[in-house]
Amino acid sequence: MESRKTIRKWFWVWDFEKEEDWLNEMAMNGWVLEDVGWCTYHFVHCEPGEYNVRLEMHPYDESYKAFMEETGAEYAGRMMMWVYFRKKTADGPFDLFSDIDSRISHLDKIGKFLSAIGGANLLIGIANTFNPSRLGWINLLVATLLMYALGRIHGKKEALEKERLLHE
């Protein structure tokens, strides 16, 4: 039996929880994430349910990686701003966030990143509209998509903020 496999799959940024669920389903089926690439996931064979997998938007940060490893998690890869960790189920529960505040600041981080690249695409798009190449529409399309993503992330954040009115 093959002990490694690669799957190509696309997730929208606002579906990062679905991406995490899918990676955990894979682990339940005996395939744990080993590395990530552009829309590419590399898995290695494991015991079904041996691992929990978590992902998070977190800029490159060596000391965070060391911190996670200190707590028993293993680094499973990074794709752009997203970092992936896994931890053996036997070593205890594994979550990256344990309260509403930190979930909100995670969504804030995603939002800031989307605004930054969305804004840049908007400016480039406007500038290129007056360019003879007339390729500005591509940037404007990307900017529109990023703004839509921002809206989805903002919606998640508002739901959490409403919840926080009553409890932590």
Interface positions with another protein (CB under 8 A): 56, 58, 63-64, 67-68, 70-73, 93, 95-99, 101-102, 105-106, 168
Residues of 30-62 as b/e, b for ≥16 C-beta within 10 angstroms?
ebbbbbbeeeebbbeebeeeebbbbbbbbeeee
Residue closer to another protein (CB basis): 2 or 70: 70
Cβ at position 56, least distance to another protein in Å? 6
Dump strand ranges (E) for 21-148: 31-37, 40-45, 51-57, 74-79, 82-88
Contact 32, 85 (CB under 8 A): no
Q: How far is the CB of 68 from another protein (least distance, A)?
A: 6
Specify the residue, 25 or 101, whose C-beta has the smaller distance to another protein: 101
Which of 118-155 are b and which e, b meaning 16 or more Cβ less than 10 Å from the residue's Cβ? Answer: beebbebbeebeeeeeeebeebbebbeebeebbeebbe
Whether residue 57 contacts residue 113, with contact meaning beta carbons closer than 8 Å, is answered with yes
Cβ-based nearer residue to another protein, 71 or 131: 71
Nearest residue (CB) to another protein, 46 versus 73: 73
Smallest separation, CB 160 to another protein (Å) = 14
Q: Measured from the CB of residue 83, what is the shortest distance to another protein in angstroms?
A: 10
Q: Give the residue with the Cβ less far from another protein, 93 or 132.
A: 93
- The nearest distance, CB 149 to another protein, in angstroms, is 21
